[in-house]
Amino acid sequence: MKQWTCVLVMSAGVLVLAAASAAAQPAQRETSKEPAKPTPRLADGKVDFGGKGVWAPIWVLDWANPKWVDKAVEVPFTPEALATFQHRRATDSKDDPEGYCLPPGVPRYTGTPYPFQMIQLPDRMVILYEGASHMYRTVFMDGRKHTPEDKLNPTWLGESIGSWEGNDTLVVDSIGFNGRTWLDYVGHPATEKLHVIEKFRRPDFNTLTYEATIDDPGAYTKPWTTSFKIPFKPGWDLLEYVCLENNKDLVHLGTSEPK
C-alpha cells in the first residue's frame, strides 16, 4: 500500500520489514485443520451460516491492501476524503473510534479480529459480534424495504435488509449510517451517505467468503469492492467482552475527541 510507511532495515543480513504505521503482522490466513466438509444447508436448500462454532476473522487493517484482502483496490477517493484519509495515516490512526470502544460499523465489524456468529431465522439474520463494542446486528429478511431516507435514524450499524441470490449467496443491503465510523483501521472514511452491499457465501463448511461493496458518494467517486475469507472455528463459543471496563489506552494515544 503506497500510503504506508515502510521501514526497511538491513540488519546482520536479515531483512526486516516493519510496516511502521500498520501495527500489523502478515495476515494469518490459517486454514482449519478440519477436513473440508461440504456447505451445510437448510431444508429449503439455502446455505446455513451457523453451526457449533464461530467465524473468526483476521484483522483487516486495510480493505484496499492485498496483504489482508483478496486483491488490491484503487480506492476512488473524493479530494476531501483523500485528505481525511491522509491525515489519519499521518497521525497513526490515533483518533480511531475503536480506541474509544465505539462500534466499528459496516463493513469493518466483519474485519475485526473477534469472533462472530450468524443466527439464522426465517425472517431475519442476527449477527452476534463478540468484540469491539459487543453488539448484535439484525438483518431483516421479512420482505420489508428500506425506511424512507427522511425517516431513517442514522446509526453505527445502519439498517440492513437481506435477500438471497439463488441458494448460495446472502446479500445484505445497508443504509442509514451515522458517518462516524472508519471503514477500517487505516482510516478509509465513511459518511452518512454510505451504502454497503455485502455478500456472504459459504463454499465449504469451514469457509465464509465475505464481499463488501462500498457505495458512498460522500467519500468516493464510484463504488468499490473488497473481499476476504473467514475461517470457521468449530467448538468455539462467543465470550463476554466489555471494552469500556478498563480502557486505559486513551491517555497514551494522544487522541483528539472522537469524530
Partner 1 sequence: MKHRILSVLAVSGALMIPAVPLLAHHSFAAEYDSNKPVTLTGSVTKMEWQNPHARFYVDVKDANGTVTNWEFELGSPNGLMRKGWTRNSLKPGDTITVDGYLAKDGAHLANARTVALADGRKVFAGAADDGGPSK
Q: How far is the CB of 23 from partner 1 (least distance, A)?
A: 3
Site residues for partner 1, 141-170, by CB under 8 A, read none
The smaller minimum CB distance to partner 1, of residues 83 and 242, is found at 242
Q: What is the DSSP string of the chain?
A: -TTS-EEEEEETTEEEEEETTTT--S------SS--PPPPB-TTS-B---SSEEE-----S-TT-TTTSSS-----B-HHHHHHHHHHHHTTTTT-GGGGT----TTGGGGSSS-EEEEEETTEEEEEE-STT--EEEEE-SSPPPPPGGG---BSS-EEEEEEETTTEEEEEEE-B-S-SBSSTT--B--TT-EEEEEEEEEETTEEEEEEEEE-TTTBSS-EEEEEEEEEEET-------GGGG---HHHHT-----
Site residues for partner 1, 84-143, by CB under 8 A, read 91-94, 96, 98-99, 101, 112-115, 130-132
Q: Which stretch binds partner 1 (CB under 8 A): 7-15, 119-127, 151-159, 166-174?
A: 7-15
Q: How far is the CB of 14 from partner 1 (least distance, A)?
A: 5
Q: Which residue has the cell 466489555?
A: 242
Q: Applying CB under 8 A, which of residues 85, 156, 185, 228 lies at the interface with partner 1?
A: 185
The smaller minimum CB distance to partner 1, of residues 127 and 175, is found at 127
Site string for partner 1, 18-47 (x = CB under 8 A): xxxxxxxxx-x-x-----------------
Q: How far is the CB of 113 from partner 1 (least distance, A)?
A: 4
The smaller minimum CB distance to partner 1, of residues 91 and 207, is found at 91
Chain residues that interact with partner 1, rule: CB under 8 A: 7, 9, 11-12, 14, 16, 18-26, 28, 30, 56-59, 91-94, 96, 98-99, 101, 112-115, 130-132, 185, 231, 233, 236, 239-249, 252-255
